[in-house]
A = this chain, B = another copy of it.
Amino acid sequence: MSDNARPISAADTRTLAAVSVETGSRQERKQRTRQALQDAALELLAERGFGSLSLREVTKKAGIVPTAFYRHFASMDELGVALVEEAMRTLRRMIREARSDPRTSTHMIRASVATLYEHVRAYEDHFRFLTRERYGGTGAVQRAIATELKLFASELAVDLARFENLREWSTDDLHMMAELIVTSMMATAVELIEARPRDQETDERITGTAVKRLRLIVFGASHWRSES
């Protein structure tokens, strides 16, 4: 493209690692660079897929030399799995919060969407990563997300089983409904992240649609008649 001498900024974009004052025990510092690698990757993943992410880029942004990467992960795939775990921890924290005050279904939906909204805005990188790589990913990363998300849906199914309208539902049907809800929430997350322009009005339109969508699903559930 341009005729600049430097192709890519050298090391001025480092995240943590060596730049941070060298304090703490050996283990602590190792843990910190490991986190720096994950942070760097997560940041780079804002505009590109995990598949098109190079080891060198990540280490450069993290502020370490390429070969030092292997002190923390055996491969990029392993980094990816670590990212899945980190992001899923965020997701689980979110559902725990949403679960903390059980009310009537209508208010609960609104409260849940509000909780989702706040978590998406607070942890955009995590949600972007999960939604991007859920289908777009490859190999270990995609598999890890699929597994975790299925587990996540199972937990939700257990919660759903406590509602009166759903008392007579089969486990399979509860699972189906839980997965539909999870997929809907992931779609909402994508819409929030990809939203343009980014103003209050747009956000309210998206969350409003999300509420309607969930309400539609719940209404469907209330009037469900299981048959062949």
Cβ of A152 to closest chain B Cβ, rounded Å: 15
Q: Give a binary string over A172-216; 1 marks a CB under 8 Å from any B CB, 0 the rest.
A: 010011001001100100100010000000000000010011011
CA distance A137 to B135 in the complex (A): 10
Cβ of A30 to closest chain B Cβ, rounded Å: 28
Q: Which residue of B lies closest to A189 (CB)?
A: B135
Q: Decide if A216 touches B220 in the complex (CB within 8 Å).
A: yes
Interface segment among A7-15, A57-65, A89-97, A126-134: the answer is: A126-134
Q: Decide if B48 touches A138 in the complex (CB within 8 Å).
A: yes
Q: Is A73 an interface residue (CB 8 A)?
A: no
Q: Is A224 an interface residue (CB 8 A)?
A: yes
Q: Which residue of B lies closest to A172 (CB)?
A: B209
Q: Decide if A213 touches B176 in the complex (CB within 8 Å).
A: yes
How many copies of the polypeptide does the oligomer hold? 2
How many residues on the A side are at the interface (Cβ–Cβ under 8 A)?
A: 37
Enumerate chain A interface residues (CB-CB to B < 8 A). Answer: 47-49, 51-52, 131-138, 146, 173, 176-177, 180, 183-184, 187, 190, 194, 209, 212-213, 215-225
Cβ of A153 to closest chain B Cβ, rounded Å: 12
CA distance A33 to B212 in the complex (A): 48
CA distance A102 to B173 in the complex (A): 27
Take A51-B48, A217-B216 as given contacts and tell me if A131 and B138 are in contact as well, using a CB distance cutoff of 8 Å.
no
What residues of B have a CB within 8 angstroms of the CB of A212 in the complex? 173, 176
Q: Which residue of B lies closest to A210 (CB)?
A: B176
Q: Decide if A47 touches B138 in the complex (CB within 8 Å).
A: yes
CA distance A135 to B177 in the complex (A): 22
What residues of B have a CB within 8 angstroms of the CB of A134 in the complex? 135
- 15 A-B pairs within 8 Å (CB atoms) are namely A48-B51, A48-B138, A49-B52, A51-B51, A135-B136, A176-B212, A176-B213, A176-B216, A180-B184, A180-B213, A217-B217, A219-B220, A219-B223, A219-B224, A223-B223
